[in-house]
């Protein structure tokens, strides 16, 4: 798991379980906010056999992430 902090949000790599395997995702949450994060699937067309592989792919995408907008959407 990797974490990247922006001015108002933090983004964390994640793996999301699906029917056909795992998906790479980035979870976004306001800095210091309580509650559940918002998950964004990345590399949508790809599935992975393990959560570790999906998280590793999400880590690479997190490196490319430029920011998070006011609506908690990813900015590439």
- Residue 73 has a pLDDT of 97
What are residue 3's DSSP bridge partners? Answer: 12
Instruction: List all residues 6 or more positions away from 62 whose beta carbon is below 8 Å from its beta carbon.
Output: 2, 4, 11, 12, 13, 26
> Which CATH class for the 3-75 domain?
alpha beta
**For the chain, domain boundaries:** 3-75
- Residue 25 has a pLDDT of 98
Tell me the percentage of the chain whose pLDDT exceeds 90: 97
- Residue 1 has a pLDDT of 87
Q: Is 53 helix (H, G, I), strand (E, B) or coil?
A: helix
- The residue-averaged pLDDT of 17-45 equals 96
Query: Over the stretch 39-61, which tens digit does the pLDDT of each residue have?
Result: 999 999 999 999 999 999 999 99
């Amino acid at each position: 798991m990797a974490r990247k902090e922006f001015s108002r949000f933090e983004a964390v790599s994640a793996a999301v379980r699906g029917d056909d395997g795992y998906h790479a995702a980035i979870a976004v949450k306001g800095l210091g906010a309580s509650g559940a994060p918002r998950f964004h699937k990345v590399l949508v067309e790809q599935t992975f056999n393990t959560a570790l592989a999906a998280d590793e792919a999400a880590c690479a995408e997190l490196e490319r992430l430029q920011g998070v907008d006011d609506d908690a959407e990813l900015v590439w």
